[in-house]
């Protein structure tokens, strides 16, 4: 099995992540245009339930497997490596069966009582088959990542999106005549098919790897749970927050005087149209976070703080640089972008509100990965809990008072709180501090680019001129990066 360096492994995931995110974006665009805001709202109401169930199924094991496999690999303990994998697969498979059955019985109550829209039942039922598939594939991805081979993870993600985008238009169109709820369920079925083909690829790659016979063990179970449970706690808090979010929003919009159907449409516009746009640059932060865990775990086991500090600075720098240009362009051309992509320029108001704060969100993933890698997953869990409580409280207060715009503000408040807490936790855990000179340079870069974007936006009057403006702004941004020496030539040589 080919082992890659941090830079090469991250670059593989970045390239695959870019392609995956691009294909996923096309997938969302198709779904939005076929289903409309109301159908997307029904689909997005089911997604938080899926994420919650998957979090409970995985029990934080993908991260735990990646960390423990990396440590076993460093010691050449091949039998231990195999034992960890077998134990993790047994745990996730058992959990997925139990939770699939539970989801089947809970879905009708959830749709009619809590989400206030009985049509959400069909997308909820459609998520059940994907649960065991993702349970197994996530553990296999953790195994390959622990061995510092990012190719299977990258290719499987691309396979998943290619299959999904191939099926989604067909399935939503076939089911649409039966009702918008069936079309939303058809979109969820495309997710199942994509994940199934992704798992098949991972299994084929696993068969090619050199394996040592071993069985699940109590010791491996205890080690996995020691790492996985705090990680699960952190993700569970995030997932439970997302789970309650559509429920709370639906109830608060009703208090605000909006009907269930209109509330579903507004929620679809915010979470199905605007939020996916600000999440586009996260393909880079996800790739960096995934690659970061095994490398920081190894450095932490050697107590090499210099290497850890260097990796943190490197990852945060790339996350902020990639997110900065995205945030600026999304803010100034929100209406034009939403009109070109979804034929819904009126939803640009959500995007223009979210975009300026999105850079803060982009560094959250890498910081959480660092906390997990240095055995501070419990602190990450506490931070996530505080952020979730703050966000849900803000949703209750602001949505009931200001409608769906209040929901958007509450979401912003939530991720700002979590990111700030992660920064404090990393700083206190390993003595890391941000580079003041870097912060000054990046503020200057953002300021110059923002002024140029403001001037350029006055000349935009069509989709073509918008793309020309974005290209010009991007050129200024890249030139600024090199003039300010935020990225130097020696760093670029490492990618070759």
401-441 pLDDT tens trace = 888 999 999 999 998 999 999 989 888 887 777 778 888 99
Helix (H) or strand (E) holding 483: helix 463-483
List Cβ neighbours of 464 (8 Å cut-off, separation of 6 or more).
Answer: none
The 10 Å CB-count burial string (b at 16+, else e) for 137-164 is: bbbbbbbbbbbbbbbbbbbbbbbbbbbb
Using the predicted structure, report yes or no on whether residue 453 has a pLDDT greater than 80: yes
| Mean pLDDT of the 243-270 span | 83
Coil, strand or helix: which one is 112? Answer: helix
Using the predicted structure, report yes or no on whether residue 210 has a pLDDT greater than 60: no
| Mean pLDDT of the 32-45 span | 76
How far, in Å, CA of 259 to CA of 490, rounded? 58
Helix (H) or strand (E) holding 454: helix 436-457
Stronger pLDDT, 332 or 29, i.e. the higher one = 332
**pLDDT value at residue 38:** 76
Q: How much is the CA Rg of the chain, to the nearest whole Å?
A: 22
pLDDT bucket at 325, cuts 50 / 70 / 90: very high
List Cβ neighbours of 361 (8 Å cut-off, separation of 6 or more).
Answer: 278, 282, 323, 415, 419
Say if residues 40 and 266 touch (Cβ distance below 8 Å). Answer: no
The C-alpha angle 204, 205, 206, rounded to 5 degrees, equals: 90
The C-alpha angle 249, 251, 254, rounded to 5 degrees, equals: 105
**pLDDT value at residue 262:** 81
pLDDT averaged over every residue in the chain? 81
How far, in Å, CA of 66 to CA of 146, rounded? 4
């Amino acid at each position: 099995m080919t082992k890659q360096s941090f830079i090469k492994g991250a670059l593989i995931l970045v390239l695959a992540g870019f392609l995956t995110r691009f294909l996923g974006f096309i997938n969302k665009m198709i779904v939005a245009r076929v289903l409309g805001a109301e159908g997307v709202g029904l689909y997005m109401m089911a997604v938080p339930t899926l994420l919650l169930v998957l979090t409970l199924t995985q029990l934080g094991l993908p991260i735990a497997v990646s960390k423990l496999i990396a440590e076993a690999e460093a010691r050449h303990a091949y039998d231990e490596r195999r034992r960890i994998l077998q134990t993790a697969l047994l745990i996730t498979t058992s959990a997925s069966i139990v939770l699939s059955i539970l989801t089947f019985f809970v879905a009708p109550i959830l749709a009619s009582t809590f989400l206030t829209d009985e049509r959400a039942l069909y997308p909820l039922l459609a998520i059940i088959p994907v649960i065991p598939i993702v349970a197994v594939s996530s553990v296999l991805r953790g195994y390959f990542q622990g061995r510092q081979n990012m190719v299977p993870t990258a290719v499987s993600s691309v396979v998943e999106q290619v299959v999904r985008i191939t099926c989604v238009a067909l399935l939503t169109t076939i089911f649409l005549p039966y009702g918008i709820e069936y079309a939303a369920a058809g979109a969820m079925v495309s997710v199942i098919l994509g994940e199934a083909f992704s798992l098949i690829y991972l299994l084929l790659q696993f068969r090619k790897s050199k394996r040592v016979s071993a069985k699940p063990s109590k010791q491996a179970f205890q080690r996995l749970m020691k790492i996985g449970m705090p990680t699960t706690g952190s993700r569970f808090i995030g997932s439970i927050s997302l789970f309650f979010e559509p429920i709370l929003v639906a109830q608060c919009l009703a208090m605000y005087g909006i009907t269930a159907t209109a509330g579903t449409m507004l929620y679809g516009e915010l979470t199905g149209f605007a939020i996916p746009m600000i999440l586009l640059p996260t393909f880079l932060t996800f790739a960096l976070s995934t690659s970061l865990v095994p490398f920081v775990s190894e450095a932490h086991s050697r107590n090499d703080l210099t290497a850890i500090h260097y990796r943190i600075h490197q990852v945060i720098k790339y996350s902020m640089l990639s997110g900065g240009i995205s945030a600026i362009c999304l803010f100034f051309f929100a209406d034009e972008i939403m009109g070109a992509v979804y034929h819904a320029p009126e939803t640009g108001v959500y995007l223009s509100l979210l975009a300026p704060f999105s850079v803060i969100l982009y560094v959250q993933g890498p910081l959480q990965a660092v906390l997990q890698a240095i055995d501070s997953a419990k602190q990450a869990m506490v931070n996530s809990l505080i952020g979730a409580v703050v966000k849900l409280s803000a949703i209750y207060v602001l949505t009931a008072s200001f409608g769906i715009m209040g929901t958007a503000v509450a979401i912003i408040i939530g991720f700002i709180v979590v990111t700030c807490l992660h920064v404090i936790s990393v700083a206190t855990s390993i003595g890391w501090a941000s580079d003041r000179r870097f912060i000054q340079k990046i503020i200057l870069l953002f300021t110059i680019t923002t002024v140029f974007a403001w001037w350029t936006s006055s000349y935009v009057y069509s989709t073509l001129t918008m793309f020309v403006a974005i290209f010009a702004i991007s050129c200024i941004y890249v030139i600024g990066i090199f003039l300010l020496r935020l990225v130097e030539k020696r760093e670029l040589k490492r990618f070759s």
